[in-house]
Structures are given as C-alpha cells and as structure tokens.
Structure 1
Amino acid sequence: MFASVIVSVSSNSVDRLFTYKIPDSLVDTIRVGHRVFIPFGNRDIQGFVIEIKETADIDVSKVKEINRIMDGTPVLTEELIQLSKKIASYYVDRQISVIEAILPVALKTKSKTILKLSEHAGNEATVLFNELQKNNEVIVRNLDKDELKKIVPFMKSKELIEETIIAQHTKKKTNRAVRSLYTGNMPSERAVKQRELLEWIESEDAPITLLRIRDAGYSVQLVDALEVKGLVERVDVIVDRDPYDTRVFFESERHTLNDEQQIAYNKIKDAMIENRQETFLLHGITGSGKTEVYLETIEHALNKGKEAIMLVPEIALTPQMVHRFKARFGDDVAVLHSALSHGEKYDEWRKIKEGRASIAIGARSSIFAPFKNIGIIIIDEEHESTYKQGERPLYDARQVALWRAAYFNCPLILGSATPSLESYARSEKGVYKRLELKHRAKAQPLPETTIVDMALSRQEGNISIVSDILREKIIERIEKNEQIILLLNRRGYAHFLLCQDCGHVPMCPNCDISLTYHKSNGTLMCHYCAFETPVPNKCPECQSTAVTFRGSGTEKVEEILRDMFNTEVVRMDIDTTRNKGMHETLLSHFVEDNIPILLGTQMIAKGLDFPNVTLVGVLNADTTLNIPDFRANERTFQLLTQVAGRAGRGDKTGEVIFQTYNPDHYAILDAQMNRYIDFYKKEMEYRKIARYSPYYFHVLFTITSENFNHCVKASHDVSTKLLEHISNQSIVIGPSPSPIERIKNKFRFQILLKYRHEPALLEILEQLDQRYYVAYKKSGVSLRIDVDPQFIM
C-alpha cells in the first residue's frame, strides 16, 4: 500500500503530492488525514496523508517508507482535505498553507502525542503500557513499527487513550487527582473524616481532583493519610481548558417566534428536512430577532443528529452572544475566537473533533470546524469584511461556507440588517432565497435619528467634538439614569502632531503615514508597523516649541466627556481590550455598574443588546466615508445603521444623533431613515457605471519591494502579462502607487483587474504567483494576489 503525502514545507517547489510506502505494520492503522513523519531529503519532516492507493505511479524501488504516524486518529477529514485543495486553487495558494490554516495553531507548535491508560484498561493493556512507557508516558512518534502494531487493538478498545501535549501548555492540561485503591479495608471507625472521604472517592467513576476535595471541605492531610495506608493514590487527570469554566449559564427562556420569524424558520427547516443545499439571505432590521431564528434552526439540526456552525464577526462575538448559545445548548457549544489561548482553542477544537460538541460558534476560522455531519451553517452580519482573511491564504469564510454547505447538502443562512450589495443582488436574481424580517421582535419602534451638520455647528461657535444637540441629549439621559453609546471610529489621543511655525508633521520612518499620539504611554505610534517614539518637546525641523496636537481619537474624547459631564466613561478600543478578558470586563462594568457612557470604535457597533441604552451618538459619521475604496459608501451606511440599532432595544424609546460634515450624502441620509433598498439602488447605479462588484469580479495585485525601482519594474511586468492574456472585455487599472505607498519600509504598487468571464484566469494567476515566488528569492520583490478583495488599498 502507498500513501500520497503533502509535506509541511511552505514552498512552491514542493507544492505537490509525494508517494510513500506504507509499512506493513501500519497498513491497518494509517488513514487519510493522518499526520506522519516521513524522510524528505536528508531529514525527517511532518506531512499529511492525502490519499491511500494500492500501487505507486513511480518506480517502487525509489519510494521511501513512512517512518511513523504522529496521532492515533486523523486530524483531517476527507472533506476538509478536498476543501483545502479547492481553497488553494481558487485563492492561488499552496495546499499545505491552507491545511495549516484549517488546523488549530496548537498542532503546529512543538507538541507530542502520548498514550495513557484508561480507567477500564485490562491487564494486557497495562502490561504493554508499562513495557513502552518512559516517565509514565508513551510518546507515539517514538514507537517503532512493531510497537505501533501492538497498541492498535488497545486503542480501538479505548483501553489506551491518546492525548496531544502542547509544550507551552502542558502544565495546564492536567490536574492532580485522587483515585481509590480500596480493596475492602477501611480506616478505623475513629477516623470518621477519612472513612467519609474514602467512601466518596470510591463512589466516583473517575478520579476526584484535589481542588474538588478541598472545595468540599476536606484537607490535603486526609488524602495523605489515606495514601500512606495504601487506600488511594494520586494521579494526573486530563482537563479541558475551558475559557468559560468560571461562568454559570442558566437555561434561557424560550421565545415564541413571531409571524415573520416563523415564516423564515419554516422555509429554512423545509430545506433541512429535504437535505437541500440552499442559501438563504435573512434580511432583518436591527432588533428583528434574527438570532432567535438561528437558535431554532440549530436546534432542529441537533434533533436530526446533525451539527451546526455559526460564524459571527470577531467584534460581535460578545459575552452576550456566547451566553445566549451556552444558556440554550450548554456543553454542546464550542467557542472559537482570537481571545482564547492556543491551548484553549485546541481544547475547543478537540471537543468538536471527538464529538463532544455539536455546535461551533466563532469568528472566521470556525468555518473549518472538523464536523462530519453538518446540518446548518449560519453567517451572522454577513456583510462584514472581517470574514475575509487578511494574510495568506486569503480565503473568504463566506465562500468556504458555500462549498461546505454544498458538500453536506445543507442550508446556509446569511444574516444581516445591512446585507452586502453582492448578497442582496444575488437574492434579487434568485441565486439566494431572501427572507425578510421587517419589524422588531418586541414591536419596539426604530429610534428616531437626527443629523447634525458639524460645519454649521462650528460656524455657530461650537468647536467641540460634541455638538450642542448631542450634549443636551446626553445630559437628559444621565438625569434619567439611562445609558448612552458613543461611536468614534478612531483610536488614540490625537491624529497627528503639527508644528504651527513650519507645518512639520512627524511621519513614521517605515511607512508613508503620520504618527498618532497616544497619551496613555506618551508616545507617537504608527498603527501599521507599531513604530513608537517619545513625543518631542519641540519641532524636529525648526526647533520651534509651537507644536500642537490635531484631531481627536477615543482616548482624547474620553477625557472630554469626563470633564464635560462629570461622569464615568467606559472606553472600548484596541488599546483598552488588548489583555485577555477585558472585552467582557468592560461591558460588565458598563451594565452592572450602570455607567452612563460607553465610548468606542466600531467594536461597539454590533452584537450589543442593552435595554437601558436609549441614546446613540456617532461623533464623526464621515470617518469611513473618506477612505479611498469603492466600498466606502457601503461601509458607512452599514456602520451607521448597525450602531443606530443599539438604541431603544428595551421598553424605552431610543434616539440617535449622527454628527457629520456631509449631511446631504445619501449614505448618511439613507442610514438616518433606515432605507436599505433606497441605498442599494443608488449604490448599484454607481457600481454599474464604475464597473465594480457585483457587476464585475476583482483581483487585486499588490507588488512590494524595499527597492523602489524594482517595485515599479515588477508592477509593469505584471500589468503586461495580464494584458497579454486577458480578453478585451476585462479591465486592468494600474499599475499605480497604493494609497499608502510604503509600509514597513516596503514600497507598494497595485493593479486591479476587473473581469466578468476569464476562463484562463486561474492559469495566469498561478504563473504569476510562481514567477514572483522565484523573483522574491532573487530580488526581494513579492506579489500578493487577492482574489475577491474586500479592500482596494
């Protein structure tokens, strides 16, 4: 038997399958998806078994043998292997890179797979374990072929249990516990506590941790006494690193679906019953109860014995969302997001792989949850750009979800109050089936929204970032003991430092962008390369002391609000939520201590449901409007509509204030009136004229080099190659400098390809990728190919 193996080497030159002989001792053990150690050149490396076949397609005498397997069970399913190949092809990347993105980081760190005796191990398994163990553990990769053959039957009978130990988390994976060695001899009747503790230990099916014993009021000395008498022994037990182990989730109250929700649910359920792959666009205004529809469809999938994946944007994965799912489904839920440690993510992934969780909820990478029988996939806030990976492989979780849904013949739900133009256009053409939720679930009215012209406000003498109208509304809410959410999508204290005598603005030495002032640590910082420098006392150019800060970020506005209203403010941005658990801590502080004002960047715009929030203020509605990207209008409309939906979600009426210098812009006016259809029609007209998505597909080529001339030359080369091979129906824009021409000391040029149908495009992209893979090694010029980009920057 032979195996086709992909090697864990991120190089185009080895981006193919290699044939290896399966040793006779492993023929019954190795399966597709196994990690294996293989000889490659003059070293042993890791690979993944992609295919098993009876014959080799090359000279058998030249075929090397697989050394050993790394895990008792495969880490990849056959479906995920097929998916990795599809992703690599579509997004022009190496399959091994995709496989590594699919698997948790913990499996790519220094790790070892060991075997342990189960509680039910028989004598034969125990004898074998004792023969093979070193330091009370058996490391799978150290076993030879004969030893591996011996352990297989005991793994199948679950007498030997497999565990992956991650080097940096080993100590957290086990807890000290006590198990009974009781054979009929009890402590003396005078040792009441010892007898009591032994009876408890004996009654349990599994060892009891010392932590549980102490919590129950027994001392460690009692355990010592029982151990001396040979009645118990200390052992290590595996424990999951549960990020929510300190939280208590009470079963939530079930809500009866209203008519709109019931209609939507019934149509999705019909597709589930028929095992029909269909994509539903659930278009529901903020507060319309989309989540309740999600919960019902997931429950139906579980009742059918199937599994569910629910994706939410990272910024929307709030404690409220997690609580809602945990309260409904308990331990059936595995949560995956970036705030977890590698070990916690690995344990959540392992719960899914071992069948101990049937629901995966999380951010973008959760789309790769290793389920084998998916019944429903849900993408909430489907319009969010964060579903597109920013580093290679540049996959889009929405596209991956479509592929997985097709494989499992299950429905895919795309939910949003402000769907992407692409999704809504597909629903107009019948490619997606659109379901509408036009009313709030609890029949609350949508908040009334007022637009404040900040240019007019300045003319009237108010130069503050808080307009007179918004200030009055905030005071009114504070007096009523109600809460306010304020959005400013710009972090830091001030946008930049300016010399008032010569006009000098300190720039990042590595990037073509000004440095942002952060008062908390007294530095000027680059938000692209993290360069930091102390704030100068005088101008570096003319030595003038007339330096001043211009613009306002969340850090400065927090100070302004505290002084203006003499009240406490909770600030949420990247700077205040860097540490683990701070997101939840800050929101809990806001709710439980009834803090009047929550100030933050776009991370507060969605996923929050606070009944006492009756006022939402957007301090600068133009921030996203001025970005040089064709989706700027769409993102502005979406952000404003989403944050406005945070107001008036309880019994109290909500109100919203948009502060802007563009009061007549249709994106802002339509967001004010919650007119999605009007905005959609206007924006589609502009997209059609300018030949942008969804009328055209896009590929963005970004060429970077530390040498400006090399960058320019390569850009023209890429452009020439494209023009030689594409049809005259497609459009090539560029090459031109990127909006930010230099980042991290690398010059950046870009080319945008717009096309509708190019059958040979994939071949062209692969040739360019290969060409510049070689070029990078020679001259340091790199080419990034972004298929279906979310940002043209």
Structure 2
Amino acid sequence: MSIAHLALPSPLRHGFDYRLPEGGGELPAGVRVRAPFGRREVIGWLLHESAQTTVPVAKLRAVLAVLDEQPALNPALWQLALWTARYYQHALGDALTQMVPALIRQGEPLRAAPEPLWQLTARGIALAADGLSRAPKQLAAWQVLKAHEQGLTETTCRALAITRDALKALNDKGLAHCLQPTTRDEMTAPSWPNLGLAQPELSLNDEQAVALQALTQAPAGFCVWLLQGVTGSGKTEVYLQHIAHVLRSGRQVLVLVPEIGLTPQTVARFQARFRCPVLALHSGLSDRERLNAWRQAREGRAGIVIGTRSAVFTPLARPGLMVIDEEHDLSFKQQEGFRYHGRDVAVRRAQLENIPIVLGSATPSLETLANAQAGRYRRLELKQRAGGARAPRVRCVDLRGQVLLDGLCAAARAAMTETLARGEQVLVFLNRRGFAPIMLCHACGWQAGCARCDAKPTLHRAPMRLQCHHCGSESAPPRHCPDCGSSDLRPAGVGTERLADALSQHFADTPVHRVDRDSTRRKGSFDALMTAIAQPGPAILVGTQMLAKGHHFPNVTLVVIPDSDGGLFSADFRGPERLAQQLVQVSGRAGRAEKPGTVLVQTHQPEHPLLQQLFSQGYDACAQTLLHERQLMGLPPVASMALLRAEAPHTEAPLRLLSDLAHWLREDEPLVQAWGPMPAPMARKAGMHRWHLLLKSAERKPLHLALARVVAWLEAEPEARRVRWSIDIDPQELG
C-alpha cells in the first residue's frame, strides 16, 4: 500500500496521510489530488509518497482522484512554496492554495484545450509591406503574424490587440489561414528572438545609458539590482529597453507594481512598445480571466506578465527577468492571512530561478538600502530627471497662527489660483478619504464612534453615511446628539470628498477630479478619471496615495500637501520612513515635463529635523539618518522582528495566552527579546479585543528557531483554541 502525504487547504501546519489508488505508478511531488476532508472534498497537493504512516491503517482514507500527470508548479516555484510557508510560519497547504488561481484550486485542468493557430499563407508571407496600406487594422494583424511565423492563438492575438474581424479579413483575402490542432503536442510555445518594437525606443541620457549597459552586459544568473532614480528620471524607459533585450533571447519577464490602479497604464505602455503578448494579473480580474492569463504565462505564450503582489507566484515557462517597481511600497506586504512580502519573495524566487531581478524606486526602503550598502545588492543611480525636466522647488508653509479654510491656507489657495490661470494643473494630496473623519456635537462635544472598534467612523456624503474604515460597518448619521439631544451635529476635519466639494465651489470654472477608493470603485472608473486628467487645460486633482504612485501627469506644476504632520509623531517606528517616502513620491508628480514644478507642504512643524533634512539634502541623506537611528535602537533592518497577534471577544483570553508565551520565551530563549504583551494600537476592532507580543533578535536564525517552537506550543496549547492568533514575520505595520 502506498501512502500519500498531502498538503491540504487548512490552517493546520502539518501534512495528512491518505491511501493512494493501486497501480497508479509513482507520482511526482506537486501534483494535485482530490481527497475527502471531514464532510467535504478538497483539492490538495502531494508532498511525497511513503510506505509507512503513523495513522492506523484502518483509519486511512483514500485519495479520490489524481488530477495531474505533471506538477502544477515547476521545481523552482515548488521550492519557493516550501520556503515561503516555512519562512512566514504559514500552513503549507493554505500557502499553496493561495499561490494559484481560484479555478486551479477548484480542480480545473492545468492546460486548456488546444486553440486554433493563425498563420500567414505563402501569399501572405510574400505580400509587400505596403500591400494593406488602406486597411490599417489588417496591416497591423499582418505585421504581427509575419513576426510570429510559428503562428498565434486567438487568445494571444487578442492580447496583442488584433481583432477577430481583422483576422477574418486576411483569411478572406487568402493572406492568412486558421489551423485546427488535433493534439496538444501541436501547440508550440512561441518565442521572440526577432522581436520587433511597435514603438521606437526613447533616447537615453548618460545616466540611463550607463544603467542599461550595466544591466544588459552583466553575467547571466541571479543578481539583485537596485535602480534608484529620482522621480521622473526615466526608470521605466530603462526597464523597457532592458526587457526588450531579455525578450529577444526568447525569455519571459515578470513585472510587479504595487497597485491595481497602476496596472492598466503600465500594461498599455508595454503593449504600445512590444509586439508580444503582455498580460495583466491582479484581483480586479474575473476568475476565468486570471486562469487564462496564468495558463498563457505557464505555457510560455505570454512575453510579459504585469501584476500586483500575488503575481509573484505566476509560473513562467522561460523566466528571464523580474522587475519590482516602487519596491518600497507597503502594498507589497500581505497584511492578512498568508502574510508574505511580495518583494522579498520575488528576490528569493529570482535566486531559485537563477535570473536577475531589478528593484526600482526613487525612495528605496531602508532594508533595500542596507542590502545595497552591504554589497548584497548592486546599486544603479539616476540623479537627474529625463528629458531636461527640473526637480520641483519645495517650500514648507508654516501653519501656526494661520486661518485654514477646508484645510488650505491663504498661500496655498493663492498659488493654486496662479497655477490654474496659466492653464496648468494642481494636485492636492490628502491621504484621508470621505467627507470628514469625525462627526461631533457642537453643543456638548460628543463624537460619533464605531460600535465594534476603538475608532471614529468617517462621514461620507454620497450617499450620506457613517462608515468605519477598519471593520466596514455603516450606519445612518444620527439626527440628534445621544448625550444632550442637540441637533447641532457637525463634521470635523477634512477628507478628500469635502475638499473636492469645497474646491469645486471656490474654482467654479475649473474641473476637479477626485481620485480615491470611493471614486474609483466601479469598473472602468479609474481609467475614465485618468483620461479626463490627461485632457489639456487647467484642472485640480484631489486624491489619496492612489495619486502618488508612479503616475505621469505632465501638466501638473503645483503639488499641495495640506497635512504632513501625521507621520512625524507616529507610534510605529517606521512612521518617519513612510512619511519621507510619501512626501518625495507626491512631490515628484510636479514639473515632470518642460514646465517647472512647485511643492507646498503645509505643516505646524517647519523646523522638524526630518523635514529640514529631507527638503534640503534629499531622501538619501534622510534615509542614512534613519538607518543610523535604527542601528542605535537595534531595530530592523539591523535586527529581525516578528509580531504575534491574538484576539478574542473578551480581553482576558488573548492577554493570558500571550503573557504565558512571553514568560516562557524569556525563560528559554535568551537570544530573543519579547516585548509585551501590550494592547494593539487599536485595542478593539470588529468586536475583537486585540493584544500584541513583539519578538526581536539580533540575528534571524534564533528568531525563526524560536518561532518554530512557538507555533508547536500554540497548536498544542488548549488555551490557544479560545483565541484567534497569527504570526507576522518582518511586520511592516504594528497596528
């Protein structure tokens, strides 16, 4: 009898033994199987076969079906899955489940049925280049098919913006025909050794040329590059020309971006440049769309895959390069469930695939800078803006004693008026959506609160509601104060909705575009906003951090930051780093074309050392100061850290559990410091009382050895079953 050791989609951090069907032959690790689990059937993964088991034979259940002949993940990705689950102290079965599209974990075949192939006929191959000059869509289709003599599937043609009507027209003229494959073996994965560019490459300045030469002439194999360039320095053009070099060798490229909002514009720019399939992978796609893109990448039919954090697990038939744009961005860290960091997982994957990886940012994380200084990463710098654009002039506006109208001082409004009068655009950055963050009673001072959280719900006006941005609960605003009965209830503070309304009234003849999660909720709304912003003429852009990441607004010459003080006194030790990155990134939206830019930073702390150094000496100098402070305090990246979270409906259970754990660690793990337990910064969220225990070690290995013992202790401890607990390795937020 052959025993299958399976990883199942379960929070339990151990495998499960099942009987395998007889006569099936030895199966490779990584194939999917269907197995009974409790009262349901689940899709699991074969870890290995064995002739022995610790489970009584009579209790062994049988595998219902083996779904694959070959593993779903290639050897490098399989090793990545094992490493990621182990490093982040997560259940392997659940990690594997989250690495693949939903339909794959529901049992869909790894490969779709073979599609027809479109190829040029002999007549089409012999056609002169100007033979279709009066039919531009047919000409574009003919050019693409001519560049891919082995043929293209209809799915690939759609990815290359070739319509079915254009293909049918070529077929009617005898220039192309559709071949029906009879077996899967007739499907050959295309490569792009003679890649033609749909758009010409831009000319590079000296710094860009040096960076590109270093990337393209480096020895083959694993290497981590940090491409640090000021905002507007042309990092993307360096990516594009390096990617062209990789594609010409027939290899594939994976590009990660931090936000879904950046994906459409990045995909559009890459599709405009390259004559190869460019696919997107992100949570905004349907399950079927994600599966189709995943299959094309796995089978080698996609030349470039662009996606958000989870795309780091996308299989590639011929991987050649990985690019992580805005590598510093917090969005690359998964904050719930499987708490991996997309950037760090990408570096490990590049090592396993033995390919180079490029980390790009104007404001690299302190971890990345520390790795570059230690020689583990190779650093390339772009210190000047591309195309002759100049860095914006930054001015701090002292708010002390000034009158604010909807969060803006008189100097900011005057600067906006002058900018709009010149026909230019203004960007106002406020990282707080909604109409107002607080609703209060003007008579007695009562403030509306969330019934389930230690937080104040935000007032929204379209539609009118109080919404907690932490637990999602909503309610209608009260008509009278519950404490004193007064009807004088007022909004306090300013959110993007209120600011956009006020600016629309003050600048009645100027379009105001609000860009936040509320205004871009519907499908296609973000693209519509970007199209409207690209129109010539004056405009005001009001938005959250969605506007601060990687966008190119050539007509924006003034950036106003109404509130910069929040990060100066953050309880999180990463607060100053996040603030510096945010200020630099937002400031970088100004003056990216030939027009000079100005940035106005409103603050009550104009003499604060961080602001002074950031705006006078730049991000690098500020980052070095923050690194020195971290070293003095023994905080990451100098040390390693993990955060244990525990929560329950009543506060006693998580407090007692973490207290016992902290006592045990202090007794038995001298190389690991245990700080706490302490209440979470938001002690109650969604009706749960939350406690934290922070673990720190000067070295990574003792911390992970201790955490392995912690997990074993928690899984065996009856008290732990009364709470919901989790482990966050390398936490990026302590909230």
TM-score grouping bracket, smaller chain normalisation:
0.7 to 0.9
661-670 vs 602-611, greater mean Cα deviation:
661-670
Matched, 1:437 2:382: yes
The equivalent position to 2:464 in structure 1, one of 503, 507, 522, is 522
Partner of residue 221, structure 1: none
What do residues 653-705 of structure 1 show as CA deviations (whole Å, max 9, x unaligned)? Answer: 11111111221223323343461222022212322233211221111111111
1:89: which partner in 2?
86
The answer as to whether partners of 2:438 and 2:491 remain within 8 angstroms in 1 is yes
- The offset of 1:785, in angstroms, is 0.9
The code of the aligned residue for 2:632 comes to I
Matched-pair contact (CA < 8 Å) for 2:29–2:47? yes
**Could you list the per-position Cα deviations for residues 326-351 of structure 1 after superposition, in whole angstroms to 9, with x for gaps in the alignment?**
11224422211222222222221121
Closer, same or farther in 2 for the Cα pair 1:533/1:351, shift >3 Å? same
Report the Cα offset of residue 21 of structure 1: 3.4
Q: Structure 1 residues 740, 119: CA separation in 2 closer, same or farther (over 3 Å shift)?
A: closer
Q: Which residue of 2 aligns with 1:80?
A: 77
Instruction: Tell me the secondary structure at the aligned position of residue 584 of structure 1.
Output: helix
Determine whether 1:702 maps to 2:645. yes
- Whether 2:609 is the aligned partner of 1:666: answer yes
- What CA RMSD, in Å, does the superposition of the two structures yield over aligned residues? 3.2
CA distance 1:749–1:463, change in 2 (3 Å): same
1:751 aligns with one of 681, 684, 693: 693
Q: Contact (CA 8 Å) 2:267, 2:279: kept in 1 or not? A: no
Partner of 2:379, secondary structure, is strand
Give per-residue Cα distances to partners, 1:29-73, cap 9 Å, x unaligned: x5443222235678654222334x6x6345998787644333565
Aligned residues of 1:636 and 1:668 also touching (Cα < 8 A): no
The alignment status of 1:322 with 2:267, answered yes or no, reads: yes
Superposed, 1:468-507 pairs within 5 Å as 468-507=410-449
Deviations 1:275-297 (A, max 9, x none): 23221111111111111111122
Of 569, 582, 586 in structure 2, the residue corresponding to residue 639 of structure 1 is 582
Number of the residue aligned with 1:356 = 301
| 1:12 equivalent in alignment to 2:4 | no
Q: Aligned partners of 1:198, 1:9: CA distance in 2, in Å?
A: 48
Q: CA deviation at 1:20?
A: 4.4
Using the alignment, how far apart are the partners of 2:687 and 2:229 within structure 1? 45
The 5 Å alignment of 1:441-456 reads 441-456=386-401
Superposition deviation, residue 637 in structure 1: 0.7
Larger of the two Rg values belongs to structure = 1
Distance 1:67 1:318, change over 3 A: closer
Unmatched tracts of structure 1, length 5 or more:
121-160, 164-174, 181-195, 208-248
Residue 72 of structure 2 aligns to a residue whose secondary structure is coil
Q: Which residue of 1 aligns with 2:128?
A: none
The alpha carbon displacement at 1:206 in A equals: 5.7
Alpha carbons 2:683, 2:690 under 8 Å: kept: yes
> 1-side partners of 2:679 and 2:115: how far apart?
62
Cα deviation code 1:75-104 (max 9, x no counterpart): 222222211111111111111111111101
Q: Residue type of the partner of 2:479?
A: N
Shift in Å, 1:384: 0.9
Distance 2:176 2:356 in 1: 46
Once the two structures are superposed, the pairs formed by residues 600-749 of structure 1 within 5 Å of their partners are 600-673=543-616, 675-727=618-670, 730-749=672-691
1:268-667 map, 5 Å: 268-271=215-218, 274-314=219-259, 317-458=262-403, 462-566=404-508, 567-592=510-535, 594=537, 596-667=539-610
For 1:756 and 1:652, the matched residues in 2 are separated by: 49
Q: Distance in 2 between the 1:659 and 1:580 partners?
A: 34
Alpha-carbon separation, structure 1, partners of 2:711 and 2:387: 53
Shift of 1:745: 0.6
Give the fraction of aligned pairs with identical amino acids, expressed as a percent: 34
Instruction: Give the distance between the partners of 2:114 and 2:98, measured in 1 at CA.
Output: 32
2:205 alignment counterpart: 258
TM-score between both structures, scaled by the size of structure 1? 0.79
Q: What is the match of residue 70 of structure 1?
A: 67
Please report how far the alpha carbon of residue 594 of structure 1 lies from its aligned counterpart in structure 2 after TM superposition. Answer: 4.4
Instruction: Give the counterpart letter for 1:519 in structure 2.
Output: R
Distance in 2 (CA, whole Å) between partners of 1:739 and 1:291 is: 38
Between 600-609 and 397-406, the greater mean CA deviation after superposition:
397-406
Cα pair 2:653 2:719 within 8 Å, conserved: no
Ranges in structure 2 where 5+ consecutive residues have no aligned partner: 118-152, 156-162, 181-195
Q: CA deviation at 1:601?
A: 0.2
Change (3 A) 1:199 1:486: closer
SS of equivalent residue, structure 1 residue 570: strand
Match of 1:154 in 2: none
3-state DSSP of counterpart to 2:624: helix
Q: How does 1:111-260 map to 2 (within 5 A)?
A: 204-205=177-178, 251-260=198-207
Matched to 1:81, the amino acid is W
CA offset digits 1:164-219 (Å, max 9, x no partner): xxxxxxxxxxx999x99xxxxxxxxxxxxxxx999689974269xxxxxxxxxxxx
Deviation digits for residues 610-665 of structure 1, max 9, x if unmatched?
Answer: 21111111121223334321111111110110111111111111111111122122
Q: CA deviation at 1:749?
A: 1.0
Q: Distance in 1 between matches of 2:262 and 2:718?
A: 38
User: What is the CA–CA distance in structure 2 between the aligned matches of 1:199 and 1:606, rounded to whole Å?
Assistant: 47
- Once the two structures are TM-superposed, the CA of residue 367 in structure 1 deviates from its matched residue by 0.8
The amino acid of 1:361's aligned partner reads I
Q: What secondary structure does 1:579 align onto?
A: coil
* Deviations 1:711-751, CA, capped at 9 Å, x for gaps: 22112112112212322x54322111111000011101112
**What is the SS of the residue equivalent to 1:484?**
strand
Identify if the C-alpha distance between structure 1 residues 253 and 471 changes in structure 2 by more than 3 Å, giving closer, same or farther.
farther
Q: 1:380 to 1:548 in 2, by over 3 A?
A: same
* Cα contact 1:315–1:606 (8 A) shared by 2: no
Q: Residue 50 of structure 1 contacts residue 81 of structure 1 at CA under 8 Å; is this kept in 2?
A: no
Task: Judge conservation of contact 2:251–2:303 (CA < 8 Å) in 1.
Answer: yes
The code of the aligned residue for 1:258 comes to N
The residue number in structure 1 matching 2:95 is 98
